[in-house]
Amino acid sequence: MSIEFNPISELSEIKALLEGCGLPTEDMDLKKSLYFYGKKIDSMIVAVVGFEILGRNALIRSVAVSAGYRGKGIGKRLVSFAESTAASKGVEKLYLLTTDAHDYFCALGYRSVSRAVVPEAIENTQQFSTICPSNALLMSKELPC
Ligand SMILES: CC(C)(COP(=O)(O)OP(=O)(O)OC[C@H]1O[C@@H](n2cnc3c(N)ncnc32)[C@H](O)[C@@H]1OP(=O)(O)O)[C@@H](O)C(=O)NCCC(=O)NCCS
């Protein structure tokens, strides 16, 4: 199944999806470095991914697929799309924080890394510094040049 993902700017709808998935929404004012992309079906957002581009590093966050659309490969395509989009903007390494999807991202090539070695720009994001709980695992993946 081919899926096209597009920029999404309807913050209240994104928040509703994320809240329904148990993901945080506190820092969602659109900043220059924060992009949301996703898929709408019948005007409803069924999948979303956010990424904050910070020079050669980026933080993937808010990866969510609504319950009725899971298990169809949309999440994997969404992450792959975020990776290629970030790479096209000059990003070399992606980071993400997760409390319960470690195995999911591990299967997509992400590896756990120590918080002690995270670049300062990632460390300073609200997701990293205040929003995600301290027990959230930090994972990263190098993007092909
Ligand atoms: C995680 C999520 C995005 C996956 O979306 P999806 O479209 O269903 O994923 P895919 O169809 O690409 O992959 C489905 C596979 O991933 C597995 N999977 C789904 N969530 C998982 C999790 N949290 N941990 C481990 N594996 C998981 C499924 O069991 C399925 O396995 P299978 O292929 O062996 O049957 C979706 O379940 C979701 O929105 N969860 C709530 C929000 C969340 O936890 N986001 C991630 C942290 S930001």
Ligand 1 atom closest to 102 (CA): 24
The answer to the question of residue 104 being in a domain is yes
Q: Is 21 in the pocket of ligand 1 (CB under 6 A)?
A: yes
- pLDDT tens-digit series, residues 7-57: 999 999 999 999 999 999 988 876 677 889 999 999 999 999 998 999 999
Ligand 1 geometric centre to CA of 14 (Å):
18
Instruction: Please indicate, yes or no, whether the overall pTM of this predicted structure exceeds 0.85.
Output: yes
Is the pLDDT assigned to residue 108 strictly greater than 80? yes
The answer to the question of residue 95 being in a domain is yes
Q: Nearest C-alpha to atom 23 of ligand 1 is from which residue?
A: 101
The answer to the question of residue 27 being in a domain is yes
The answer to the question of residue 1 being in a domain is no
Give residue 11's domain range: 6-142
Q: How confident is the model at residue 101 (pLDDT cuts 50, 70, 90)?
A: very high
Residue 81: closest CA among 107, 40, 50: 50
CATH of the domain at 85: 3.40.630.30
Average pLDDT over residues 127-131: 88
User: Residues near 22 by Cβ (< 8 Å), separated by ≥ 6?
Assistant: none
Q: Please give the tally of structural domains in the chain.
A: 1
Q: Nearest C-alpha to atom 39 of ligand 1 is from which residue?
A: 64
Strand partners, 34: 52
